[in-house]
Every structure is written in C-alpha cells, then in structure tokens.
Amino acid sequence: MVLDISPDELPSGGNAAIARVAVIGTGAWGTALAVVAASAGRTVTLWGRRDDVVDDINTHRLNSRYLDAIPLPDGITATTDAAAACRDADTVLVVTPSRTLRDICRMIRPHLRPGIPVVLCCKGIERGTGLLLSQVAEEEIPDHPVGVLSGPTFARETALGHPTAATIAFPFSYQDRLHPENSPAARLAIALGGKGFRPYISDDPIGVEVGGAVKNVIAIACGMMTGAGFAENTRAALITRGMDEMKRLAEVLGGRRETVTGLSGAGDLTLTCSSTTSRNFALGAQLGAGKTRAECFDGKDVVVEGEVNAVSVIELARKVKVSMPICECVHAVLHEGVPLSEAFARLWARPLKAEPRSLSISLDHPGGSAAEEDLTQRMS
C-alpha cells in the first residue's frame, strides 16, 4: 500500500484532526514522546503518579528524575489526575511498563472520549495469558481503535531532536483502505511527524509488537556474550538468528515476516543489541561479566523489560510450538537458574540447521561436543 499525503490534504474536522494528545507515563520514553508531540504543534498533557515529577515538569520545564538536563518545550503540562489528562484528548499514548498495561487501561477507560485512538508505546507480551499488548488493550477498552508505536528509539536522543524513525501500526478496516488518509495510523503519523521525528505507517500491529517484545530478550543475549568477552562475530550471529526467531513467532501469530525486517524489528533489534544505553543489553553485559542479578545496576531496582518478556515470550512460543532457542537460552539463565556458560554452550552445540526455510535439515554438529566444552571453559 502506497500512502503519500501531507497535512494540507487531510480533510478538515471529523475524525482527521488530532490537536490534543494525552501521554500516560512520565518516564523517559513518555516524556520524550511528549516532546515529539509538542514540537509537532500538539497540546500535550502528561500523566504520572509521582507528584515530584509532575511538579518538576510544570515548574521547571524539566523531568530531572528520568530525562535530566533536557528542557521541555511549551505546550506540555503534567498532572496526576488521569481524568484531567484524558478528558479532552484526541488520542492517548500509553507509555508505561508492559506489566501494568491492563491496570492502566482500566484506569483511563472511563475518561476517554468516544472512539479516540489509543496508541501503545510499551513493548511486551502479557505473562500468563500470552496476549500481545494490543489484545490486552482491546479487551479493556473495546470501543477504541488500538495501535502501537515502536522502533529504534532511545528516549534521550528522541527528546534532543536527533533524527529518529519509528513505526505506527493499526489494523486497517475496509474504510481505511478506501481512504487511508483517515486511518488512525496515518492521522497519528501526521500528528507526531516533525523535524526530527519521522513516523512510518503500518497495517501490521502483530508484526510490530512481536519485534518490540522479542528484541529485548535477544538484546540480553547479546549483552551476556559481550560481557563474557566475545565480540562482533558473536553479536552479529545472535542478532541475525534472533531476527529469525522474531519472524517465526510473528508469522505464526498472523503477522508478516516483512514487518520484522523493518524499523520495529531489524531496526530496534540492531539498536538495542549494540549499546549499553539499552537496559536489556546492559543487564546482559553485567551478568556476562560475572555479576549476580542483585549486583547489577549497582543494586538499584531497575525495570528491564526483556527480563519480564523472557518469561512471556517463551510461554507463548511453547504454546504455539515455535522454536526460539536464543530466547530459551536467556530464559534458562534468568529464570531457571542455569549457569550462563552452560546455557550458551548448549545453544552453540545444537544440531546444524538450514538457513532457508525451504530446506528441512538437521544434522549432528560435528564439533558440537568440542564447542560445548570450549565455551563452558571460556565463560567459567
């Protein structure tokens, strides 16, 4: 589908205008998206639980706790009142940890204007149910279009206006295909697009969500091997084969493999697997260097989405019978007590497989035993 529109081509009034944006979550990414929306000329209300963060935003035009030293533009106000944040909003961006999404949806539901689009800017799969986050939101706010925003986006760089691209994905109805300029995805792209922020439009939220959830787990794997002393070859292999795991899961769930090669898959995976700015990579690197989980991040209670997602991703993969050996490896280390050296040695010594899906091959690895012994020694 080719969609080439400008703000001047949008119909006036009706469901096309998005002037007021509510952002639920005053963390680093929520604040960065508030900056994006305000810089694009929208009026933004940020909701958060902490009085000190809300006061800092309103009084000093800063979020010193989560996004320090970056001045916030005019057009952003903050509140701890969810009703006030949502009351007049034309759209709502939910930017909270994935594990809290269901409760957040229940909180905002009574305050949403009828039919406005809700955009999930968190990444993950619900533990226990195996539901994608959009499916969770659709259960809790069934009368609203639900989409996702995802991509290779570190919050600080986005807030500073560095050129950043992301994908906005909503299901497309028959009417959306007849008039794509009125689709929720297109309207959000126009509302948020600005000098530094370039949104791309997708009709495959499943593929986008799978990429966002699984890449966090693969990033922990890359961090573990980097922390253990391995370098570029190893990380490139994990990124590439990790993307294949993302493709397999997306396809089984009804998404498209093509989506996983885009910003929300390959783009986000490459970014998250290559920088200690990523909490997921940083956690893996510290564990790979020999720290216990309690010692990571100097003992601070840091939320790492991939640590949570490792459980829900593997639960879902096993349920739908998709092989995800790298994610299984990370799950074994984080949640089953398997030593890191043993888990990765087993991963590398698995039978040899074909890369193209058209070939169904599984051969005993002739160097499997030696690889397992060597990696165990290197990482011990």
190-201 exposure pattern, b = at least 16 Cβ within 10 A, e = fewer: bbbbbebbebbb
Question: Does residue 328 contact residue 217 with C-beta atoms inside 8 Å?
Answer: no
Share of the chain above pLDDT 90, in %: 88
Segments of the chain assigned E as strands: 20-24, 43-47, 76-79, 91-94, 118-120, 146-150, 164-169, 197-202, 352-353, 362-363
Render pLDDT for 124-140 as a digit per residue (tens, 0 to 9): 999 999 999 999 999 99
Is residue 168 within 8 A of residue 147, CB to CB? The reply is yes
Architecture of domain 7-203: 3-Layer(aba) Sandwich (3.40)
| pLDDT tens figures, 72-84 | 999 999 999 999 9
Please indicate whether residue 356 or residue 179 has the higher confidence score (pLDDT). Answer: 179
- The answer to whether 121 and 95 have CB atoms below 8 angstroms apart is yes
Residue ranges, CATH 3.40.50.720, the chain: 7-203
Question: Which candidate, 324, 315, 344, 316, places its Cα nearest to that of 245?
Answer: 324
Question: Which are the contacts of 3, defined by CB distance < 8 A and separation ≥ 6?
Answer: 180, 181, 186, 201
pLDDT of residue 373: 87
The predicted model gives 54-72 an average pLDDT of 95
In the predicted model, what is the mean pLDDT of residues 287-315?
95
Separation CA 61–CA 24 (nearest Å): 18
100: Cβ contacts below 8 Å, ≥ 6 apart: none
Instruction: Kindly report whether the global pTM for this prediction surpasses the value 0.75.
Output: yes
pLDDT for the residue 205: 97
DSSP 256: -
CA-derived radius of gyration, the chain? 21
Q: Please check the confidence at residue 204 and state whether its pLDDT lies above 60.
A: yes
- Residues 40-66 have a mean pLDDT of 97
20-24, 68-72, 264-268, 279-283, range with the lowest pLDDT: 68-72
For residue 317, which amino acid is it?
A: A
Sign of CA dihedral 64, 119, 150, 333: positive
Cα–Cα distance measured from residue 378 to residue 226, given in angstroms and rounded to the nearest whole number: 12
What's the mean pLDDT in 165-170? 98
| The pair of three-digit structure tokens given for residue 349, joined into one six-digit string | 């010594």
| 215 assigned to active site | yes
CA atoms of 298 and 313, how far apart (whole Å)? 27
| Tens digit of each residue's pLDDT (9 = 90 or more) over 81-94 | 999 999 999 999 99
Q: What is the pLDDT of residue 338?
A: 96
How much is the pLDDT for 16? 56
Q: Residues in the chain, how many?
A: 380
CATH ID of 212-379, from 3.30.1330.30, 3.30.70.260, 1.10.1040.10, 3.30.565.10: 1.10.1040.10
Report pLDDT for 191.
Answer: 97
User: Are residues 16 and 182 in contact, defined by beta-carbon separation less than 8 angstroms?
Assistant: yes
Q: Are strands 146-150 and 164-169 parallel, antiparallel or unpaired?
A: antiparallel
Q: Give the active site residue among 123, 195, 215, 300.
A: 215
pLDDT of residue 217: 97
Q: Determine what percent of the chain is predicted with pLDDT higher than 70.
A: 96
Tokens for 206, please give them.
């499943």
Residue ranges matching CATH 1.10.1040.10 in the chain:
212-379
Q: In the chain, how many H helices and how many E strands?
A: 17, 10
Question: What is the DSSP code string of 262-278?
Answer: SIIIIIHHHHHTS-TTS
**pLDDT tops 80 at residue 60:** yes
Which residue intervals of 61-168 are DSSP H helices?
82-86, 101-108, 133-140, 155-159
Q: What is the pLDDT of residues 4-49, one digit of tens each?
A: 444 444 433 335 589 999 999 999 999 999 999 999 999 999 999 9
Residue 95 to residue 291: CA distance in whole angstroms: 30
